[in-house]
Amino acid sequence: MLDLLAGSPGAFITCIGVLGLLVGSFLNVVIHRLPLMLERLWRAECAELGASTPPPAGEPFNLIVPRSACPHCKAPISTAQNIPIVSYLLLRGRCANCSARISARYPLVELLTGAASAVTAWQVGFGWPAACAIVVTWFLIALTFIDLDHQLLPDCLTMPLLWLGLVASLTGWSSSAHALPTTPVSAIGGAALGYLSLWSIYHLFRLLTGKEGMGYGDFKLLAGLGAWLGYQMLLPIVLLSACVGAVVGLALIALRRQQRGNPMPFGPFLAIAGWVAMLWGPQLVSRYLGLYAPTG
């Protein structure tokens, strides 16, 4: 099987795309449940300190149990109703039991995960580096949507992303033929500089304005990206994320979807920039520098 995938790029990309659809279904669970799990944990910790009443005891609630159910009628979702994309289309976007409308975001997350996984496989090619890049892609998708919903980048995602990047650097992995191998030195430097750079900007902004411009989760996310891609990619990631954030922010203000002064999560822009830098960063930097190369 591995020989077939290694020898057939089309089969490899297709398999990874299908796997991405399945993982996208699980990421929907992570995006929905993980913030609720953290909230329950924080309430329990506050209760232990006497700062609040203990939460009522109930059934276990984690990423595995209870089974997924309709949020309206609480009917369990069967395996046949949980096939990525297909089930949503067959059910016409409605619950099989109560006909309540199912959010279109569920199949969109599945489709996004499948497509991003396939693109990553196509760009990186068969091998260990592709596995690394695909795992990073899945982390970034989960973090993006959790931050959009809750303005939260959980440590239980950002810290494993960082540590996995440091471990991967021991193999000298590279996301493409154009990228430099990520060595332990560049990974540790990327993690440290990634965290400290945004930490410094945060405190300088707070000193000048008295406001908080971003959260500590953003520092950890950039540190994780630095661990995977090395310190060389930090500046392109920050610049690209700032540009994308400015364009999206102005567009939302123009469309009256965002009020001036209201906070916008920065994590999604870091995630998008990190994914682009992982796959095409060296080429983008080379083309940018080429614009200013002497001619003649």
Kindly list the distances between the CA atom of residue 258 and the CA atoms of 185, 252, 263, in Å, as whole numbers in the listed order: 41, 5, 9
The whole-number average pLDDT for the span 146-168 is 96
The confidence band for 291, taking pLDDT boundaries of 50, 70 and 90, is low
Residue carrying structure tokens 């959980």: 154
Q: What pLDDT, on a 0 to 100 scale, did the predictor assign at position 224?
A: 97
Residue 74 three-state SS: coil
The confidence band for 170, taking pLDDT boundaries of 50, 70 and 90, is very high
The residues near 248 (Cβ < 8 Å, ≥ 6 apart) are: 264, 269
**Closest-CA residue to 147 (of 228, 63, 214):** 214
Q: What pLDDT, on a 0 to 100 scale, did the predictor assign at position 57?
A: 67
**For 80, which DSSP code?**
G
Highest mean pLDDT among 73-82, 218-227, 259-268: 218-227
Q: What is the pTM of this model?
A: 0.92
Residue 82 pLDDT more than 90? no
For the segment 34-43, what is each residue's pLDDT rounded down to a tens digit? 999 998 888 8
Helices (H), the chain: 2-7, 9-48, 86-90, 105-124, 128-150, 155-169, 184-209, 216-229, 234-254, 267-291
Highest mean pLDDT among 16-30, 79-93, 272-286: 16-30
Q: What pLDDT, on a 0 to 100 scale, did the predictor assign at position 258?
A: 61
Instruction: Count Cβ atoms within 10 A of the Cβ of residue 156 and give its class: 0-12 exposed, 13-18 middle, 19 or more buried.
Output: exposed
Q: What pLDDT, on a 0 to 100 scale, did the predictor assign at position 290?
A: 63
Kindly list the distances between the CA atom of residue 118 and the CA atoms of 17, 127, 174, 229, 292, in Å, as whole numbers in the listed order: 5, 14, 18, 20, 34
180 versus 223: which is more confidently predicted?
A: 223
Residue 101 three-state SS: strand
Q: What pLDDT, on a 0 to 100 scale, did the predictor assign at position 56?
A: 66
For the segment 44-63, what is each residue's pLDDT rounded down to a tens digit? 888 777 766 666 667 788 88
The whole-number average pLDDT for the span 222-251 is 91
Output the average pLDDT for the chain. 88
Residue 292 pLDDT more than 60? no
For the segment 133-149, what is each residue's pLDDT rounded down to a tens digit? 999 999 999 999 999 99
Q: Quote the CA–CA distance of 277 and 68 in Å, as a whole number.
A: 35
Q: What is the dihedral of CA 213, 215, 220, 222, to 10 degrees?
A: -30
Positive or negative torsion for Cα 260, 262, 268, 273: positive
Which token pair is 144?
């993006």
Residue 293 pLDDT more than 60? no
- Return the amino acid letter for 205: F
The whole-number average pLDDT for the span 72-90 is 88
The distance of Cα 80 from the centroid of its chain, to the nearest Å, equals 27
Residue carrying structure tokens 């822009």: 269
The whole-number average pLDDT for the span 1-24 is 89
The whole-number average pLDDT for the span 163-190 is 90
Residue 101 pLDDT more than 60? yes
For the segment 255-286, what is each residue's pLDDT rounded down to a tens digit? 766 666 667 899 999 999 999 999 998 888 87
| Residue spans per domain, the chain | 1-124, 127-296
Instruction: Count Cβ atoms within 10 A of the Cβ of residue 67 and give its class: 0-12 exposed, 13-18 middle, 19 or more buried.
Output: exposed
Residue 233, number of CB atoms within 10 A of its CB: 27
Residue 99 pLDDT more than 70? yes
